[in-house]
Structure 1
Amino acid sequence: MNTTILPPAPWTTREDLAGLVAALDPDGAGLCRYVGGAVRDTLLGLDVKDIDMATPHLPEETQALLKAAGIRQVPTGLAHGTITAVLPGGPVEITTLRRDVSTDGRHATVAFSREWQEDAARRDFTINALYADPRTLEVSDYFGGLDDLASRTLRFIGAADQRIREDYLRILRYFRFQARFGSLPADPAAEAACAALAPGMKGLSRERVASELLGLLALPDPAATVARMAQLGV
């Protein structure tokens, strides 16, 4: 099995990040990994703006480790396991591994986990479920995200209709990521699920919808995607 390593990027050599890793995983036992957009965009050779980390540490354990290392922290989402480490080079969100217990189309009730694949399984798209070891930069891929990234294929993890029913905002996220990363033709099953379940977005807050739409419209060339959304009734 081939091993994928993150290519060189300015953010991976930050001294403050090395200090954060040392605080969370002093013995190199694999107790933290970079996850999501930073890993995805680095693999694509894009600039990285936000850095997220995942850890099996419970939130209170993360807080204690950061305090012991003298790292300033903000409890930005304790109920969902997220603590923000405030570093000189920029904030880093650290979230405990999770699994969904229940969802209602808007919010999820989560339980904390110690399994990396369980955490990956609750993420929306395969290209967003990539993790990287902060010391070796080796990438962990549980759902074929590396192949999808190489072919610019945007694919839900699991059945598209099930994942959308968990959170209807994923419809708008699908089209935003399709406009940014996806190749054509798009996944017919994903488009069909987005079209069929679009009425579910009526239960979302205006703020969440506006954030996704503005993110889509800020992309270099969103016109074709917006036209496709109109065709599908989204």
Structure 2
Amino acid sequence: MVIIPAIDLKDGKCVRLLQGDFNRVTVYSDHPAEMARLWREKGAERLHLVDLDGSVAGAPVNAGIIRQIVREVSLPVEIGGGIRDLATAKSYLDMGVQWVILGTAALKDRVLVYKACEMFPGRIILGIDAANGKVAVEGWTEQSEMTASELAKSYENRGVAAVVYTDISRDGMQTGVNVDATKSLAEEIEIPVIASGGVATLEDIKKLLPLEEAGISGVIVGKALYSGAISLEEAIRLTKRV
């Protein structure tokens, strides 16, 4: 299982939100590329980037910073936020991003996602963010009536690389990952699942490790790394011992 540090971008800075609320922002660095280099130095094998401004604008806002990170940090990068057309997906992949994450489009523009999977096989990740089990989109500002499982199943056998599943109610709260919901989703689909939201301590990592067989391939860690509640080196060592 891979531990994936998160770098959320807002106004050109590295931030964390509480439960996806843009009014509850903590700035951790004015220089996101420096944070990316730090996580690389501490052993990160992959980075999770989110253009928060882009997720609301519906188009890239922090692409320049993302380009800088890709150029300066020799790690595979996945990027989400504001990717609503094939041209944007292609531009990120062309700049060296390894995977693009489609969230709002996964719910609202299935044809786009199907085409993206055909054009860029193995490089499209579905971003499924849920509140009370229902999918939320548009930077978490709009909630649908579709469940995470229903949405994920509709993309089976389409060449999707993974599903990033985020429990919004826990994101940034350090209240513990929603193990049951993440496990349930992984067991219901064939697509690998990356857990996200609420990771608070190494105990959360330990709870997820036995679920690799169920299809959970990674976990995104954000605030717990920035607050020091989790040491990235210790988390990685824990995964290597299993």
Same-fold call, TM cutoff 0.5: no
Which TM-score band (shorter chain)? Answer: 0.3 to 0.5
Whose helix proportion is higher, 1 or 2? 1
